Structure 1
Amino acid sequence: MSDIKINFVSADGEKTVTAAAEAGDDLLRIAQVHDQPLEGTCEGQMACSTCHVIVAADDFDKLPEATEMEEDMLDLAAGARRTSRLACQITITAELDGLTVQIPAESRNMQGV
């Protein structure tokens, strides 16, 4: 049953896409299924930062803390902020219903080219 809602806000803040997710999905897969411009070059192996998202401040504390390895990858992400995370490292749970993330302005999806 996919009744967990995830909100993706475009880089310019003009458009929001609400996606249905299931517990256990990862945010990168949900983003890609719903045509969001997150490349995920390393396919979730945490070897890049191309799935960088900015989590809404109200939702950030709902997430488990980032690992040191994720923090290292976020150091390489263009436009990283205090609430930045890698979408491949966010596992969807019922507690994340209504999660809002923004696509960074610096995001480039080379797979869509």
Structure 2
Amino acid sequence: MSTETPFDPGLQPERTYLAWQRTVLALAVACAVSVRFTADRFGVPAIVLGIGGIGLALAAYIATYRGYRRTHRALTDTAQLHGRGAWRLALLAASTLFLGGLAVLFLWGNIRIPL
């Protein structure tokens, strides 16, 4: 089987990879938007939390891509999965904590988003 041919006709690994991409992208956008509304009032702490959250989301994106490629190779080459790390979950959790810090700033600063 070619390494570029999908292992699963239902494309389960590909769908999982796309779901991870959407989740990480949504988290990065939420961090960026949060910084936009909190930076005026809180300055450096808001910017640090936002950049940290975006950076961790980017790291989770890279870990997701590498995990997908590793899984794809394992499925197409040897039909065995090797040990999988939890780095992308840890990065996603850390980025979510940074977003939570920004949410606290929203509440503490009584910031209203104009609609």
Does TM-score exceed 0.5, indicating one fold?
A: no
Please, what TM-score do these two structures have when normalized by structure 1?
0.25
The structure with the largest helix share of the pair is: 2
The structure with the largest strand share of the pair is: 1
